[in-house]
A = this chain, B = another copy of it.
Amino acid sequence: MAKQKRDAKVTKAKIIQNAMKLFSQKGYDATTADDIARESDVNKALIYYYFKNKAGLYANVMSGLFLAIREEIAEADKCCDNPFGELKAFIDTYARYAKKEPFFPALLLRELSDNGAHIPDMMFVSMLNLFSLLSDILKRGEAQGIFKKSTPMIIHFMILGTINLLVTTGPLRKKAMEVDVTLDTCSECSIDEIAQTLYTNIKQILEVPNNAKNITCA
């Protein structure tokens, strides 16, 4: 019950948490082992004791994040039995995850603009898995005749790109408003509003025009 120093699990988690924060704030290269050690209040060598090297720590950080989000989304997708519901769940869950782990979007964006320089394999698979989930929803929708034919990859990036950029540019957009008040940079938008708007937009794109049946004149 004591404060328990020397608990590997706790120490490791603390390191990972701080590393996540720093990596996302300053990028992989600009984050030093010293930074992480200081922030985590452990000796620098301990990082190497647990993670072998900086890349190993980074891999650990990313793998944790990716595993978590995939699980959350897969779970959320069970919610509904109709494609629209699933799509909404996908967007909402991703948005909420980006809110909960605010470092994730920056890390993901950086990773994607890197050709996957650092630790590719496991992350690569995780990213594909994520895309698979969405792709399946779209396919099912098409099969049921309620989604138009679409290019899944583009839809996927419309969703991820938008959420990720909105999350990472938060401070930037706030600053922009101060510079030019006439511009609406969505600086006060909540993550839920964003998710909602985004869903509406994507739905617009996908749904087949069902005017026909509505327009029963006379």
Q: Taking beta carbons and an 8 Å cutoff, which residues of A are in contact with B?
A: 25-30, 105-106, 109-110, 112-117, 124-125, 128, 131-132, 135, 151-154, 157-158, 160-162, 164-166, 168-169, 171-173, 175-176, 179-180, 183-186, 189, 194, 197-198, 201, 204-205, 211, 214-215, 217-218
A26, A117, A204: most-surrounded residue (chain B CB, <10 A): A204
A154, B194: Cβ atoms under 8 Å? yes
B183, A151: Cβ atoms under 8 Å? no
State A110–B108 Cα separation when bound (angstroms).
Answer: 10
Q: Write out the residue numbers on chain B whose beta carbons fall within 8 Å of the beta carbon of A166.
A: 153-154, 157
State A198–B161 Cα separation when bound (angstroms).
Answer: 13
| A-side interface mostly | helix
Query: What is the chain B residue whose CB lies nearest that of A116?
Result: B172
A193 to chain B, nearest CB (A): 9
- Kindly report how many copies of this chain are found in the complex they form together: 4
Q: Write out the residue numbers on chain B whose beta carbons fall within 8 Å of the beta carbon of A115.
A: 25, 168, 171-172
A158, B217: Cβ atoms under 8 Å? no
A185, B215: Cβ atoms under 8 Å? no
State A201–B175 Cα separation when bound (angstroms).
Answer: 30
State A175–B128 Cα separation when bound (angstroms).
Answer: 11
- 5 pairs, A vs B, C-beta closer than 8 Å: A26-B117, A27-B110, A115-B171, A153-B189, A160-B165
State A151–B173 Cα separation when bound (angstroms).
Answer: 14
A109, B113: Cβ atoms under 8 Å? yes
Q: A115-B171, A176-B128 are in contact. Are A201 and B154 (CB under 8 A)?
A: yes
State A117–B168 Cα separation when bound (angstroms).
Answer: 12
